Amino acid sequence: MVSLQVARWRYYMCRFLRYKRRYPEKYHIFRYEDLVTEQEQTFRSICDFLGIAYDPAVFDFHKKKDETVNAYGDYIYEKYHENLLKPVNTGRMNTWQNVLTAKEVRLADQIAGKFADSLGYERKNKSFSLLVFIRSCPMVVYNYVVFGLMVLGTYLPYRVSQWWFFNSLILLRIYMKLFGKKSVPGM
């Protein structure tokens, strides 16, 4: 569900940027796109931020496939680690252009808003649409409620917080039933 994913991204970016303004020495922003297109420069900036030495061999991790397969076995490697051991490349960049409809892109652009602009992402649709806003409201509100509940849950004992989190998913199930979706992936 695009609106939920973009609302989640916006929520985290909003918090991240607020903390970065408050504690600039503790936060470093880099984009995935920069890491794959300007690998050395981006990774050097990450190493500088962390105060560790840059080692260009870090990009040779994909050459350790045999070690990983030996350590985890073929099944675990193929199921969980296969993509992690491919060289850094631009192949996944802009995948959304082939996957999302124009309607979903407009929805994502509106929810992401100026946060996308401030982080260097180009939005295709910058104009405000009341209809898109109304359509996106349920998932945006749901997102803020769930993350608010999750933050509140961190103050509770572990078992209670787990119960709290899993039962908050009922809000999403209700939304999906109201708007015609039969099931929620992963639930």
Confidence of residue 185 (pLDDT cuts 50, 70, 90): very low
pLDDT at 184: 42
Span 41-52, average pLDDT: 96
Helix axes 130-153, 102-118, angle to 10 degrees: 60
CA atoms within a 13 Å half-sphere pointing along the CA-CB vector of 14: 12
Residue tagged 């892109």 (tokens): 105
Count of residues in the chain: 187
Q: What is the DSSP string of 46-91?
A: HHHHHT----GGGGGGGGGHHHHHHHH-HHHIIIIITGGGSPP-ST
Instruction: List the chain domain ranges.
Output: 2-178
Among 3-12, 78-87, 155-164, 177-186, the least confident range: 177-186
Query: What is the rounded end-to-end Cα distance, in angstroms, of the chain?
Result: 13
pLDDT digits (tens, 9 = 90+) for 61-88: 878 778 878 888 888 878 777 777 788 8
